[in-house]
Structure 1
Amino acid sequence: MEFARRRLSPHDLNVLAHGSGGAPVARWLADTQLGRGLLLVWGVMDTARRVGHVEAERTRQAYRLLAELQRRHPEEAEAVLGHPATGAWALGALRALQGAEAPGRPRTDPAGLSALAAAVMIRAGVRGAVRVPAADGAVMLPSLGRADVPGDEVLVRSSGRGAEVTAPGVRVAIPADPRTDAPGWHGLRTVTASAHGFTIRAVLDDLDAWRLPGAMVGARLGGAEVAEWRSLLEEAWEVLTCHHWTTATECQTIVRALVPLLAPSSGQRSASSRETFGAVGTSRPVDALGLAVTFAHEVQHAKLAAVLDTVSLIRSDSGRRYYAPWREDPRPVEGLLQGAYAHLGVSGFWRRQRHHERGMAAMRAHAQFARWRTAALRVTRTLLASGELTDEGMAFATGMRRTLEAWEAEHVPAPALLRARREAEQHRTRWRLRNCAASESG
């Protein structure tokens, strides 16, 4: 496989620090993450060989097949290797081989590289067959779907006109359109939206065990629920492309998967992970505006995660923990930086959106802008004073501060400003009572 180490230019790092980036920088970040995924896949093969894993030879053969398929069918290979869950699986497999498997994560087999090869083979319509490990009565073909089959191993066969998964006494035919369901086959559905010349396409991933490790993922969606998600995405995409062009172009480039999460008792839950670049996890939004701001929030996390893989912004963890106005628990410096950068994006969203709302909705938007610009600015100042950032980290946080200070000077109606301050004070009081009480009881 071909991969090259990339370094972010000082200019692009400065643009990102101010909260922007747009399509060109987003494409560069996405390419670095694809390269990272390729290195992880190679690492699985190489580490299996070095530690003498019982499946080392099968893993090597699967890697060689995958590399050949990538050479001949680069677009189909990128769809599989760039699928968010693929990176998480490869990292999990590598950690397991190194004896550092995270508790609670799905079981891995390095020979699972053959599942990646099978998925590329099917996407490319290539004739061939490959044996793939199965677990818990199923085999997952990343970016395509899941086949229900018994046993520990299956044969995935592609005829060039169709594909099937077989095990002793069982045959599961994969539909010509793998996104659809069939007896024994559960396809990964896609959601698409187009507006104002922009189109976003994403897998609605409610199947893969690695779709968002550690998150409270939801169960398989029914047909009516999928239709609701598609409708919400179309409405949210209208909002983003109409008023938030930079965010829309970044989402168009970065987002590859939407992962439905379990709904909290109130409000909306969202999540992302450095392990699954391009995946946005969210419970079903209350409305399209809720999904639009989730995109603005989570794409910031994705951008910063990719930056942190190429540039050292933070010194080693000192063990110190800090107050974050958007969390109920004390945060380490990396979590603090991630939260501040995400809420820089949230502030920017409401800064623009408040001018397109009317009545009470406008007042709420002004309040959201006021609350999160101040919260992100205060946390950014905490980061700059912490002594835990590298020189490049200090420059990055300084760029964030400049943007937020400019926004802090913008007018917000007095009632909205009062509401924002009251909500911030309530959170701070609640946080102190919870965490100081926990500290005293400990």
Structure 2
Amino acid sequence: MRPDSLHEAESRHSLTPQQFRELARGDGSPATLAALSRAEYSHRLLLFDLLMDALSPLAGVTGRLPAAQRAWDLLAAAQRQNPAAVEELLLLPETGLWLTRLLTRLRSARRAETPLWAEAGHLHTLAAVAAARAGLTFSFPVPALQERVWLPTMGLARLPSVHRQRNTWTVAEVRSVCGRLTLIGAYGHLRLSSGPEHPARGWLPQRRAALGAGASRRITLDDLGHHRLAPLPDGAAKRLTQSAYDSWSRLLQDAYGLLTTMDPPTADAAAGLLRSLQPMPAHERFRVRSVSSGHGVGGLASSMPDTAPLCAATLVHELQHSKLSALMHLYPLHEPAPPGAALRLYYAPWRDDPRPLGGMLQGAYAFTAVARFWSACAVQLTGHVSSLARFESALWLGQLADVLPDLATDPALTALGRDALQDLLGAVVRLHDRTGEGPEVTMARRMAADHRATWRLAHVRPHPDDVGRLAAAWCAGRKQPPALPPRPHPEIRESGARHLDARAMLVRVGLADPAALDKMCGSQGDHVPGVAGAGPADVLWACAEFAAARRLYSQDIQSASAGPGTWTGLGLALADASRAPEAVKALTAVPEMVAGVHGAARRMSQRTPDPIVLASWLGQGDAGPPGIC
């Protein structure tokens, strides 16, 4: 903990070329992961060094709390007595989140809901927890929110309070004598007569869950901490019910058991890196809402998956983010964009929005491992789970093989970044070559093309001169669309469109639970329960009612209520019915041009063109649709 030794500690950390390649292709042996964890600890120490440098000259920054140096000294004393406890505290994902947010706040002087003294005072809380766990005798002030004191790795103390307004920050005192903990607030105190792991009146201990039945490795189920990876709908974290806690515990054990068989690299990463999970509110069945952060390596927030395979896939996804973030703390894989420069944006098959290079690297790295997990499940599991796994692995492998080559040419990549992408691409190609054929694989290819087309319609802007020229030719009754001048890369803009994968979600429902899909087909209304973004026409398509789906898609387009998925859904329904191949071509390759010309022609002629006839006109000929990039 001595400031003069921090940079020396960092300089000792590096990976061998073999270890780098292991991580680059998405793997990582236990020894490699241990080296990565040690390097991450040094990274945290450096952040603490930066924080102390930033806090020291700021008089009064800690308010009624002692100066930051006092907290640092207590933390250092605890480390001398119990270094393992201090390392655990500093490596908590919430510690990394707090450090980064506070450093950003100090640099930018931004306003925040939490007073600066209370946010800086988390250093005092960490010092008090470290000292208590080290068995020191001390008394030290810490911040309290509405007389609630959060002690990481220990629990939440709820002291007597008269505060009725939210976000009222005060100061409480933590005392420890002969291993007994007492917390003192303005209106009363709480004495823990037994260890902090036992519940008591006013005390909620932090709960943990084992990875695997009987496993010694346990992770924190962080349902009470202040520093969240993702904001909660009602603001404050709440204690999980016993039933929810039990469900999470069983689910994590089952998921980890699956990983040990299906994806040993992720099982190793879970055992070596995973530290906490913050439960989030329930979400849709196949849209597990999960979040991680490069500043909180080893942590994730997640809604509860419905099944162990979905939970395992979620762990794979978020642990890959942690691995890559820790790797990039050692070795930058790309250069930051110059100030004021426009970001190059990419199509990300796993997102609704366009993504810059850094986001693409994270997504490609995570989904390569997700595909690896589902590929193993497709071979080793049976029934509906195996069908779903074949679809998932084929979908992600096909999409990765599509986007990785272009990503590898980005000039902002460092030499190590280019090497890492080549290793990652090699892993994808090896898995892709083993995919095979079958109905699930065919459907995966169709859903990959559907998502790309829907994404184009949402985010690609065709040149207005091209749209106007084509619309004028259509209104003039030209038999063929005119030739268009060559254009550079099209303009890509964030549109706010969401749930572009709605039809793929319906496919997943049909593979995993055909009866549930049949029930959806018989439902009434404009929205599909449990699949946001899906409409009645999408359900008809998923239930193989192609003619009815085509009519409903066309009606929606002609009523001017079409979203991005309506146009591309029309193309799918036409393809399944083997109708209008020219329209299918245009709606797959340049749906944004079809929609743009349709709107312009309607404005010019005051009549609504038939969408299938117009798409067929734009897609006719061997040269393909005009405006294709």
TM-score if structure 1 supplies the norm length? 0.92
Distance in 1 between the 2:434 and 2:291 partners? 30
Instruction: Identify the range of structure 1 (205-214 vs 317-326) with the bigger mean alpha-carbon deviation.
Output: 205-214
**Quick check: 1:272 aligned with 2:292?**
yes
Percent identity reads: 32
Q: Which residue matches 2:350? A: 326
Deviations 1:90-128 (A, max 9, x none): 222222222354867785432331111111122233222
Q: How many residues align?
A: 441
**Quick check: 1:84 aligned with 2:93?**
yes
- Whether the 8 Å CA contact 1:199–1:252 is kept in 2: the answer is no
**Quick check: 1:138 aligned with 2:159?**
no
- Whether the 8 Å CA contact 1:189–1:203 is kept in 2: the answer is yes
Distance 1:219 1:323, change over 3 A: farther
Aligned pairs for 1:168-317 within 5 A: 168-174=186-192, 176-195=194-213, 199-213=216-230, 219-267=238-286, 268-317=288-337
1:27 maps to which of 34, 37, 50: 34
Distance 1:211 1:131, change over 3 A: same
1:128 maps to which of 138, 152, 155: 138
Compute the displacement of 1:440 (Å): 9.8
Q: Which residue matches 2:516? A: none
Compute the displacement of 1:272 (Å): 0.6
- Whether the 8 Å CA contact 1:59–1:112 is kept in 2: the answer is no
Aligned pairs for 1:353-432 within 5 A: 353-432=377-456
Aligned pairs for 1:53-64 within 5 A: 53-55=60-62, 58-64=67-73
- Whether the 8 Å CA contact 1:145–1:185 is kept in 2: the answer is yes
Distance in 2 between the 1:188 and 1:403 partners? 39
Counterpart residue type for residue 449 of structure 2 = E
Counterpart residue type for residue 306 of structure 1 = A
Compute the displacement of 1:439 (Å): 4.4
Counterpart residue type for residue 60 of structure 1 = Q
Distance in 2 between the 1:214 and 1:254 partners? 23
Distance 1:265 1:299, change over 3 A: closer
Instruction: Identify the range of structure 1 (158-167 vs 172-181) with the bigger mean alpha-carbon deviation.
Output: 172-181
Deviations 1:316-367 (A, max 9, x none): 2351111100100001110000000000110111121211111332122112
Counterpart residue type for residue 56 of structure 2 = R
- Whether the 8 Å CA contact 1:261–1:281 is kept in 2: the answer is yes
Distance in 1 between the 2:430 and 2:216 partners? 32
3-state SS of paired residue (1:139): strand
Distance 1:43 1:278, change over 3 A: same
Distance 1:273 1:153, change over 3 A: same
3-state SS of paired residue (1:109): helix
Deviations 1:282-339 (A, max 9, x none): 1011111111111111111000001111111112235111110010000111000000
2:175 maps to which of 148, 157, 160: 157
Distance in 2 between the 1:297 and 1:403 partners? 16
Counterpart residue type for residue 230 of structure 1 = S
Deviations 1:251-286 (A, max 9, x none): 100000011122334531111101211102210111
**Structure 2, gaps ≥5 residues long:** 162-168, 462-491, 497-629
- Whether the 8 Å CA contact 2:458–2:495 is kept in 1: the answer is no
Compute the displacement of 1:232 (Å): 0.8
3-state SS of paired residue (1:119): helix
- Whether the 8 Å CA contact 2:74–2:128 is kept in 1: the answer is no
Distance in 2 between the 1:132 and 1:64 partners? 15
**Quick check: 1:66 aligned with 2:83?**
no
Q: Which residue matches 1:50? A: 57
Calculate the aligned-residue CA RMSD, in Å.
2.5
Q: Which residue matches 1:36? A: 43
Instruction: Identify the range of structure 1 (103-112 vs 221-230) with the bigger mean alpha-carbon deviation.
Output: 103-112
Distance 1:215 1:410, change over 3 A: farther
Instruction: Identify the range of structure 1 (355-364 vs 210-219) with the bigger mean alpha-carbon deviation.
Output: 210-219
Distance 1:100 1:335, change over 3 A: farther
Distance in 2 between the 1:205 and 1:24 partners? 27
Q: Which residue matches 1:8? A: 15
Distance in 1 between the 2:22 and 2:495 partners? 45
3-state SS of paired residue (1:209): coil
- Whether the 8 Å CA contact 1:215–1:271 is kept in 2: the answer is no
Distance in 1 between the 2:410 and 2:224 partners? 41
Counterpart residue type for residue 49 of structure 2 = W
- Whether the 8 Å CA contact 2:62–2:120 is kept in 1: the answer is yes
Instruction: Identify the range of structure 1 (418-427 vs 63-72) with the bigger mean alpha-carbon deviation.
Output: 418-427
Distance in 1 between the 2:440 and 2:112 partners? 45
Distance in 2 between the 1:349 and 1:59 partners? 46
Q: Which residue matches 2:559? A: none
3-state SS of paired residue (1:263): coil
Distance in 2 between the 1:242 and 1:399 partners? 24
**Structure 1, gaps ≥5 residues long:** none
Deviations 1:129-168 (A, max 9, x none): 1111223432221222222345611110112332021012
TM-score if structure 2 supplies the norm length? 0.66
- Whether the 8 Å CA contact 1:205–1:211 is kept in 2: the answer is no
Instruction: Identify the range of structure 1 (303-312 vs 5-14) with the bigger mean alpha-carbon deviation.
Output: 5-14
Distance in 1 between the 2:247 and 2:183 partners? 31
Counterpart residue type for residue 57 of structure 2 = R
Distance in 2 between the 1:440 and 1:143 partners? 40
Distance in 2 between the 1:60 and 1:390 partners? 39
Distance in 2 between the 1:441 and 1:295 partners? 30
Distance 1:21 1:175, change over 3 A: farther
Compute the displacement of 1:399 (Å): 0.6
- Whether the 8 Å CA contact 1:180–1:188 is kept in 2: the answer is no
Distance 1:146 1:374, change over 3 A: same
Aligned pairs for 1:73-112 within 5 A: 73-101=82-110, 108-112=118-122
Instruction: Identify the range of structure 1 (138-147 vs 175-184) with the bigger mean alpha-carbon deviation.
Output: 175-184
Distance in 1 between the 2:258 and 2:417 partners? 33
Distance 1:103 1:417, change over 3 A: farther
Structure possessing the higher relative contact order (Cα contacts under 8 Å, 6 or more residues apart): 1
Distance in 2 between the 1:427 and 1:174 partners? 56
Structure number with bigger Rg: 2
Counterpart residue type for residue 221 of structure 2 = L
